Structure 1
C-alpha cells in the first residue's frame, strides 16, 4: 500500500475516512526551527530524518484530504516558558479556519497555566498536547497539578510524549508519568508513540488505568523497528485493549509516506485472529473520533 492506495483501503473497510489524533501544524517561525532540528537528525539521533511532507500548508492540507483524513488534531508544543498560551491561541485560530482541524491546546508548568488552559477548553479545545521530552519539564510539577485535574474533570484527552524515545530526557519515562496518573486516575491520557521504546510498560498503564490510551505514531514502521522493536506479545496484548488504540502519524514530520503507518497497523490486525477489521475500524476512525468528541458536534469535513 502506498499513499495512492489509501482511499481504496478505507473503502474496503467501509470507512468514511481517517481520524488522525497526532498531526503537527505550527506557526511558521516555530516550524522552521523544528524542521532545522530534524535536518540535524544525524547529529541528534544518529540517523537521517528527511521530512517526507515538507511542503507549504495548503499542499499539506490537500494531501490529508486526498488520503481521506476527515478530521485531525493539529498539535503544538512549547519548549520554554511563555510559549504555551500564544501557541494555543494560534492553533485555535488555525482550527477555526481549517476544515477538518479539531481545536487543540498545549501547556507548560508556569504561572497562569490553568487560566489559559481553561480559556482554551471554554473556546472548544478538544485535545491537549504535552511534550515532556521537548519541553524538558517535570509532569509532576506543582504548577501542572491543577491543570491535570482540570483536564481529568473535563474528560479532554491529553496526548503526552512521556517515553524515552527517540532520546531520553530528564523527566521522560513512563514511571514518572504514572505518578501523575496515580494522582489523577480519571485523566484521559493518550501515550504518544505508544510510550516508545517501552511498549510493554505502556500497555501495562493501559491495563491499570481505564482512561489511558495509546497512539500509533511511528510505531511498528521500518524506520523505527531497529531502535524500538515491538515486543513479541504486542498483538496479543493489543487484543485486550483494542478500543484504546488511536491512529497517530506525526504528519508531516515523518521520513516515509503516510501509508507506511497504515501498513503497520494493518499488519497487526492480520497477525492475530482477535483483531481484524473491527480493530482497524476502531483504531483508524472510531476511537480517535470518540476521543476528539466528534460525535457531539460537527468537526469533520464532508
Structure 2
C-alpha cells in the first residue's frame, strides 16, 4: 500500500529548468514564483539548469553557455531551494570544463546537464563526463525514444547506455522515464552507474513500478521537468504507483541526497 502523501518524506526534485525566458505567475519574480510553487508541493530542493538565453537552446553558443550558467548561479544565490547544474556542450568542451571548474570545483553547483547538442554515444562528450566523474558529481543526460521528431543530436537510452559503458566511474541520470519507456529502462539496466528520473510526458500507468522492479528502488529518482510540467501531477505519478513506504522515501528524496553528495542537508520546516 502506498504511503499517505500527508506523511511524505523529504522530496528532492532532480529535474527542473528556469531561465531568462520564464514569466512570473504569482509575483513579479519568476524565480521566487517557482520556489514558492515547489514548496507548496512539498519539495525541499530542486536541481535546476538553464538551457539558453531565449528558451531551450539545442546548439548553444559560448555566449549562451555563459549567460545560462550565470543565470543559474543567480537562482542558487537567491534561494537555498535551488541547487545548480552546469549547462555544458560537447561543441564547446574547453568552455564547458571552465564553467565546471568555476561553478563546481570552486563553486556551489552539484552536477552538470547535457541536452541535445550531440548524442551521448558521441566521444566528444568524454572530456566533460570524465571531469564530472573526477569531481564526483552526477551527469543529467536528456534521453527520449520518439516515433517522429527525434532531433539530430538527441540521445536515446541506447546512447546513454553507451555513455555509461565508456564511463563506469560516472553517475549518469537518464532523464524522462516516460519518454524512454520500458525499452529505455531495459537499455540501461545492465549499467549500475545509470539512474533514471521519473519525468517526461504524461503519467503512464505501470512505468514507475516497472522501473523499480527492473532497476531496483535505489536507481529511480523523482523529477518533474517543471515548470514545463506541474509539480503536483508529476508527484502524483510517484504516489499513485503503490510503492512501499521505504521505496517511496528513496524515490522522492533519499536516492537524490545520496547521489547528489554536494546537496545541502535537508532543513526541517
**TM-score, normalization by structure 1:** 0.73
Residues 205-240 of structure 1, C-alpha deviations (whole Å, 9 max, x = no match): 44211111010113661xxx4xxx766xx6245135
C-alpha RMSD of the superposition: 3.1
- Partner residue, 2:112: 128
Runs of 4+ in 1 over 6 A off after TM superposition: none
- Report deviation, 1:299: 6.3
Seen in structure 2, the aligned counterparts of structure 1 residues 141 and 237 have a Cα distance that, compared at 3 Å, is closer
**TM-score, length basis structure 2:** 0.81
Distance 1:277 1:107, change over 3 A: same
The CA distance in 2 between the partners of 1:294 and 1:153, in whole Å, is 14
Which residue is 2:138 aligned to? 157
Report the counterpart of residue 172 of structure 2 in structure 1: 189
Is the 1:100–1:301 Cα contact (8 Å) retained in structure 2?
no
Q: CA–CA distance in 1 between the matches of 2:268 and 2:103?
A: 22
Rate the CA distance shift 1:85–1:169 in 2: closer, same or farther, 3 A: same
Alignment of structure 1 residues 144-293 onto 2, 5 Å? 144-165=125-146, 167-171=149-153, 172-194=155-177, 196-218=178-200, 221=203, 225=204, 235-240=209-214, 241-254=216-229, 257-268=230-241, 270=242, 275-293=243-261
Gap change, CA 1:158 and 1:299, over 3 Å in 2? farther
SS of aligned partner of 2:51: coil
| Corresponding residue number in structure 2 for 1:39 | none
Aligned residues: 254
Q: Given the superposition, is the C-alpha separation of residues 217 and 237 from structure 1 closer, same or farther in structure 2, using an over 3 Å criterion?
A: closer
User: Gaps spanning 5+ residues in structure 2: where?
Assistant: none
Give 1:88's aligned residue.
69
CA distance in 2, matches of 1:203, 1:142: 23
CA shift at 1:157, angstroms? 1.0
Distance 1:199 1:74, change over 3 A: same
Aligned to 1:287, what secondary structure does the other structure show?
helix
Measure the CA separation in 2 of the matches of 1:300 and 1:143.
39
2: CA distance between counterparts of 1:207 and 1:301?
A: 35
Query: Structure 1: which 5+ residue stretches go unaligned?
Result: 1-7, 36-50
For 1:263 and 1:138, the matched residues in 2 are separated by 31
Whether contact under 8 Å (2:182, 2:210) holds in the other structure is no
Shift of 1:201: 3.1
Q: Does 1:59 align with 2:33?
A: yes
Change in CA separation of 1:151 and 1:266 when aligned onto 2, cut-off 3 Å: same
SS in 2 for 1:63: helix
Q: Do the aligned partners of residues 56 and 203 (structure 1) sit closer, same or farther apart at CA in structure 2, a change above 3 Å counting?
A: same
Q: Does 1:101 align with 2:75?
A: no
Q: Greater shift after overlay, 157-166 or 67-76? A: 157-166
Correspondent of 1:73 among 43, 47, 67? 47
Q: Is contact 1:151–1:157 with CA below 8 Å preserved after alignment?
A: yes
| Structure-2 residue corresponding to 1:21 | 14
Checking the alignment, whether the CA contact within 8 Å between 1:102 and 1:292 is kept in structure 2 is no
Residue 70 of structure 1 and its aligned partner are, at CA, apart by: 0.9
Q: CA deviation at 1:187?
A: 1.7
